[in-house]
Amino acid sequence: MDCPVAPKIDFSGTTPYEDYVHASVLHSLQQQWSQDPREMSFLVITQVMELYFGLLCFEWRQAKRELRADDLPAAVRTLNRSELHMQALNAAWRPIARMTPGEFNSFRDALGEGSGFQSGRYREVEFLLGEKSRSMLVPHRAVPAQHDALEALLHEPSLYDDVLAALHRRGLPIPADVLDRDVSTPYEPNADVERAWVGVYRDGPRDLLDLGEALTDIAEEFARWRYDHLLATRRSMGAKVGTGGSAGVAWLEKRTQRSIFPELWTARSHV
């Protein structure tokens, strides 16, 4: 019987794991502003969310490249992978949502005017999903590199814009005014696009149906993200003004009413 080989435990410098993951750097980034131990949970979870925002942006940019290359199977695999990331991202709300108002208030003052509303990477998430708004650039004016990156993204086609362009190349009747629209503005539902998706869901090719379902999964998880954010805020702080000066719950309620990839939802009524 062969003896199992023991893992190598003696290294001349840092471990290969540390060199690859930079764990010591990650664990040095949690700096509490209060003495309340619950703040550490809030801080780590918020940082985990930021990492997932970055991962989603990476995946959706990859999917956009695959769509432009008309490699729909690869794009669907990438989108499906991103949907699993979104499930993990959404699960991060649970510990925050279980904080009582008193527990959250015990360190809330440490946030000052800080708010997730100011996250540049989350703004990238929204822009990539087609939730465009020039006013959302304002919080980032003092950080030129971030502002310029968001300004450029504002004028780039969203993930859904690239999807519709791919459908057009496959022969679906996507109207010219949709394909040539000002991509810096929020996407508005279009009846012709809805009819194109109806055709896909009735008897379209399997790869287009898979693409539609992958996008719908993402839209559902994004809606769940917004709703879970609303519930966590309502439960931990009620209807108070948000930490960044927003209307808090009222602002979040308004955001939950918007759907991304709208025709993928309305088309189902006609199949």
Residues in the annotated binding site for heme: 229
Residues in the annotated binding site for substrate: 108, 243
Residue type, 259: S
Residues in the annotated binding site: 108, 229, 243
Is residue 207 within 8 A of residue 77, CB to CB? The reply is: no
Q: How far apart are CA 193 and CA 174, in angstroms?
A: 6
Q: How far apart are CA 42 and CA 40, in angstroms?
A: 5
Q: Which two tokens stand for residue 99?
A: 């904080």
Candidates 253, 192, 221, 251; CA nearest to 129 is 221
Q: How many CA atoms lie within 13 A of 14 on its CB side?
A: 10
Q: Where does 15-154 have alpha helices with state H?
A: 16-21, 23-26, 38-68, 72-91, 93-97, 101-108, 120-128, 144-154
Q: How far apart are CA 95 and CA 255, in angstroms?
A: 22
CA distances from 146 to 25, 123, 143, 208 (A): 22, 10, 6, 35
Q: How far apart are CA 236 and CA 97, in angstroms?
A: 6
